[in-house]
Chains A and B, each alone.
Chain A
């Protein structure tokens, strides 16, 4: 049985950049415990001699032809932006934060 603490879930939420209330953390810790217990079954058959499969059909280094095609206009590219200024995405301060 896998054990996962409330503190671990809080750390995962921090890593995943999701703010969580105490109530959310309490609820999710309980659920994670149950779900991890169920999915841990994969370990029963995952022996060392079995190679992993990351993708159903093996493909790699696929590139398209290098031809110039029209791209989005700045207006279109910024059309969904929460904030923009001078044809750029405007974001909250990223430097000088406490962490």
Chain B
């Protein structure tokens, strides 16, 4: 067992008492120490809290107590979920120094499962972005090539996995923030069905789209983490009161014979890098070899998904981010006794928010304003209906839908940061799933021939049929592994610490 092992292997080694949870946490902190000055996946490390949790797990294990399957395994937590007493910034200056007084439900579930939270990971400010360049604390670097982006908004969580700084991570996905980082770092990420994982304690960006989910290096590890964090939560009024699909069993099944897999015609062609399409097609060929049936489906309204998303998400964000008013938490600027509350609010929000956040708040304020509401926000909501209908029709013909996760491999840091529209195009294949509230997975399907960088394969499932993504993902992963002869991350250049 090493830090390059899967979380499942680590859990087995812990169960056999070959290693203690404290030793395992320390090995990961040593790796973080060695590589994170280059990668910058973490914003904050909670060494004391993590080691205390690890020690308590070790004691329970020694005492013969029954433990959860992932007890003692380390995890990296995206800095958009609140953890009691641990700094939570959402990648924003606005929340610098803030320590939440309570735990998110996801965090409570992780703690109850005995999972060891190493620290908080970097992200685009308030989860708005596709490159982690919008973090107020500086970008995260892709472990495959440190001059490139790790995706976003959850670039820190994905990079931590790819750099072997943690075997498990939590992300959140509003328009692709779990899946696109997974794609460009050759890791696995799942956006569960909307309502499948509690949003309580997830700092809201766009409430009707936001969804927390599991990230790891293998499909089975992702399923194990999914199982640990999913389920109904009375504290989240949009939580689904429904049994969690058996994602772990599905990940282990590795049998897709007779399964109908739909290729979405609209998620290919113009704008998609040649090497991305080639790797995607090769993966589809593997699924055919495994006995799956391929059908081509048409979702004509997907063409409008990006436009609808960039009205709905900013509209909801303009409302959600009104809470950052410098009155009850966060930073406060200009309160010198001479200024009124509104002036202090204005000054604080000028300093506390970065450019992308301001851009979206202004766009959302416009889309919701009287006289423009019907033309913009109202029309976007109608497109949402049309996209749901496209999905419904497609799922009448097949069990899952597939596409490339992102149109290109990782681009250079700085390459698109001055062009918001070019940046938004990264999410073109991931956004439809969020608008319809369905499940989406990205898993690695190879390296593009032009640049030797990872390509993501996206699997989309109907609502609360998340197990289907794991069924297809598990089977495809096994087929690709035997084709490659070793895990895809073994092809990545070595970072200092992982030698």
Contacts and interface: CB of A to CB of B under 8 A. Distances in A.
Interface of A: 4, 8-9, 12-13, 15-20, 24, 28, 31-32, 34-36, 38-47, 50-57, 59, 62, 64-65, 72, 76-77, 79-83, 89, 91-94, 96-99
Given A53-B388, A57-B195, A93-B341, A82 B330 contact: yes
Contacts of B311: 39, 42
B490 interface: no
Contact of A42 (B99, B366, B379): B379
B237 A38 contact: no
Contacts, number: 183
Contacts of A13: 362
A99 B431 CA distance: 42
18 contacts: A18-B346, A18-B361, A19-B347, A28-B359, A28-B362, A32-B363, A41-B307, A43-B379, A46-B380, A56-B209, A62-B237, A62-B238, A64-B234, A82-B327, A83-B335, A94-B342, A97-B340, A99-B342
Contacts of A39: 307-308, 310-311, 363, 376, 380
A38 B421 contact: yes
B51 to A, nearest CB: 24
Contact of A46 (B240, B382, B437): B382
Given A18-B349, A82-B330, A82-B335, 14 more contacts: A19-B347, A35-B420, A38-B421, A42-B379, A43-B379, A50-B382, A51-B385, A56-B209, A56-B388, A57-B194, A72-B102, A80-B330, A82-B327, A94-B340
B2 interface: no
B326 interface: yes
A12 B366 contact: yes
Contacts of B322: 17
Given A35-B421, A52-B381, A91-B341, A44 B304 contact: yes
B346 A19 contact: yes
B378 A52 contact: yes
Nearest to A60: B237
Contact of B100 (A8, A34, A59, A80): A80
A38 B310 contact: yes
Contacts of A46: 378-380, 382-383
A15 B367 CA distance: 13
A20 B238 CA distance: 36
B269 interface: no
A92 B101 contact: no
A81 B328 contact: yes
B248 to A, nearest CB: 24
A81 B463 CA distance: 40
Interface in B162-198: 194-195
Contacts of B330: 80, 82
